[in-house]
Amino acid sequence: MAEGQKAIVWFNEVSKNDVSLVGGKGANLGEMTNAKIPVPPGFIVTANAYYDFLQRSGITDKIRELLEPLDVNNSKQLQQVANKVKEIMLNATMPPELAREIREAYIKMGRGLVAVRSSATAEDLPTASFAGQQTTFLNVQGEEEVVAAVQGCWASLFRPRAIFYRQQQGFDHLKVGIAVPVQKMVQSEASGVLFTVEPVTSDASKIVIEAVYGLGEAIVSGEVNPDLYIVNKEDVEISNKKIGKQDWQLTRNPAGGDKNPNIKVPLPPSMQTQQKLADDDIITLAKLGKYIEDLYHFPQDIEWAKEDKEIFIVQTRPVTTIKKEAAVKVVPEITAPVFLSGAPASPGIASGPVKIVPEASQIDKVNEGDILIAEMTTPDFVPAMKRAAAIVTDRGGRTAHAAIVSRELGVPCVVGTEQATSTLKDGQIITVDGSTGKVYEGKVAETVLPGAPAMPKKKIKTKTRVYVNLAEPEAADKVAARDVDGVGLLRAEFIIAGIGEHPNYMISQNRGQEFIDKLAKGLTIFAKAFNPRPVVYRTNDFKTNEYRALKGGEDYEAVEENPMLGYRGASRYITDIEVFKLELEAIKKVRQKYANLWVMIPFVRTVDELASTVRIMESEGLKRTKNFKLWMMAEVPSNFILLEKFIEVGIDGISIGSNDLTQLILGIDRDSGKLADTFDERDEAVMIALERLIKVSKSMGVTSSICGQAPSVYPELTEKLVEWGITSVSVSPDMIDQTREIIAKVEEKLKLND
């Protein structure tokens, strides 16, 4: 392993800035530990250790040879190849010094029963939620057993569903890392999940808790219909309870063993219909959920467990399936008789022929447009779920992993019907309404896509353009089909993270062209989807801590006390010119076919920085033309103070980064939970800056836009921006239609369309 890289880190040594090192789960465990949230203690085997294992074992070529010709849509072939890769991974030898470090860390934490979990570095990020792709080993005890479980987690990175997902996302299989948290086991009396937003309707005023007796794997897998508790977020009072009947609970298997670590234990009849969690515990848990949501400034999906009257938080991740409530409300009511009913898991309506799939090995039965019927829809079903028009299960709650995946995929889903597999027949035509949890015999309604209006609406024309902020390649085609004028902010970070290696490290290995090709491939997806509408690409704004986390990054990046204010943006471009040239080459490569790709320079501190950046771009053949526009992010106070001078350098437009601008004007760390209430883009000082940026731009003949989160959160701010004369507003995908309507009303009021 490279000098300075760590193979083992403890929870209290990492934070949410270390996702590339310890994965989403690992970073969140560290963040919560440092925030004094009750988290069972543990350590993490880092992604560095995994990459070192791949390199030193010499197995990468064998794995690549198996994966390159694979057709992931051929379910049988996918299963066969996955088994072969898994065998290679498990038979390879772990570096002896790493195995020793793992054993020593296990001893240091006091031995005993631990959970050995997988934390892929591209898993549980806000752009996707394919949780459960990799393996978790529970009730592991013993030094050698923990070492073996870590290697088992590594091997699970090549399970069929994980291979399928990476292929769909365009990730290089061998560039996605995996970290392995090793955590003290909680022997749960009760356990479950908590959403700090209602996961189907996206009602942010509700907290949803699901609870079962015993270990939480029963609820996550969907095998048990859990208790459902609804809590009002504002006053933290229970508003609704639905008690699920539970015949058995999952407990630790005293006999142990890897294959059957847990066993099902029947519950006495007196317990089967009891409430799993006392009201006081529900309130305590809801308060914890609120605190964690405040910590992350984003709705959270939380796993919890109760042992000896104490509630523990096992892990948390962002809810990535939030949809506008209006998108659910417009679904037309179906008046036909209800054939089956369950819990609504993913909104939308679809009809088609039934395909009953008893187990994941038979998912190749499901063709495009079929209705997938299963006892429970586990993550192994993902390839078939992408082909299915809708999904119905016998068991599971609305927060089961598979329900989350359904929402991410935009597939209507109903869970917990109890009898779908026994009542329905293969080939039978049914209609599934994922918004209400109802299933109807025959085709009784037209298809309604989740998040899309059910009835055609008249297209609204506005003088102010509505752009969208994007980072996820898989979303490009879907969002491009919306009434949107282009991409106002295309973030590079997701594509760069997918590449996974520091560009200077790749240059040192004479692999600069590989970096160019991979970046160009990611950019092309967006440019092609939106062509001829503009796609404004913000050049890479990785900070030093983020760059250090990439493979080889520690050799090129200093440790900074405050990376947010450190070596980033234009300062980096004019210093590390060779890396900037790689990025410019990728842009030029895409523009050979798609001239709608424009460029935006982030975090420009001084006028000289902008001038130097422009000179480098021009020397590399990227000069402003009628078809190629250059924008500057306006996110540093110097930008609005000296805006006239910045514009005189030669730019076509500005885009206001309201997140950083607010942070720097008010002197507030935007990640601070204690100062969250003070961080407000509507503050008078920020509003003065916004008004000046827009009005000066207009007076000097350049366009103005905004791409921070402010317009997506505060519609009333959008009204002021239009009044001041902003050229475009770029918002998150779920706010496109609402923003267009707000702009239209303001323009009508101001007579801008006359």
Strands (E), 454-594: 465-470, 487-491, 535-538
> How many CB atoms lie under 10 A from the CB of residue 293?
24
Task: Tokens 């000098």: give the residue.
Answer: 3
CA dist list (Å): 327 to 202, 413, 415, 470, 739: 10, 16, 20, 20, 14
**CA 687/CA 719 separation, integer angstroms:** 12
Contact at 8 Å (CB) between 116 and 81?
Answer: no
Residue 668: left if φ>0, alpha if ψ -120 to 50, beta else—which one? beta
- The rounded distance, in Å, linking the Cα atoms of 254 and 263 is 9
C-alpha dihedral (353, 356, 362, 366), degrees to nearest 10: 20
**Among this protein's residues, is 153 annotated catalytic?**
no
Which residue's entry shows tokens 């282009």? 486
| DSSP helix/strand/coil, 664 | helix
**Shortest CA distance to 401 belongs to which of 326, 315, 494, 498?**
315
Peptide bond into 733 cis (omega under 30): no
Peptide bond into 38 cis (omega under 30): no
What is the rounded CA–CA span in Å between residue 711 and residue 717? Answer: 6
- Report the C-alpha gap between 177 and 542 in whole angstroms: 18
Among the options 153, 173, 401, 413, which is catalytic?
401
Please tell me whether residue 340 adopts helix, strand or coil conformation: strand
Q: Which one-letter DSSP state was computed for residue 461? A: P
According to DSSP, the residues that pair with 212 across neighbouring strands are: 191
Q: How far apart are CA 594 and CA 468, in angstroms?
A: 18
The rounded distance, in Å, linking the Cα atoms of 23 and 9 is 12
For 565, the token pair is 């204010």
Contacts 24+ apart (CB under 8 A), 52-58: 52/1, 52/5, 52/7, 52/95, 52/98, 53/92, 53/94, 53/95, 53/98, 53/154, 54/174, 56/95, 57/92, 57/93
Question: How far, in Å, CA of 599 to CA of 601, rounded?
Answer: 7
Q: Which listed residue (153, 173, 413, 707) is catalytic?
A: 707
Quote the longest CA-to-CA distance of the chain. Answer: 79
Please report which residue ranges of 625-735 form alpha helices under DSSP H. Answer: 637-641, 643-650, 658-666, 684-699, 710-713, 715-724
Q: Which among 598, 671, 605 has a CA at the least distance from the CA of 634? A: 605
Alpha-carbon distance 226 to 264, whole Å? 15
With a CB cutoff of 8 Å and minimum separation 6, the contacts of 526 are 470, 473, 476, 487, 490, 535, 537, 597
Q: Which two tokens stand for residue 208?
A: 């949803």
Contact 322, 202 (CB under 8 A): yes
* Whether residue 707 lies in the annotated active site: yes
How far the first Cα of the chain sits from its last, in Å, is 67
Say if CB 179 and CB 44 are below 8 A apart.
Answer: yes
Is the CA virtual torsion 342, 396, 293, 689 positive or negative?
negative
Q: Mind telling me the catalytic residues?
A: 401, 707
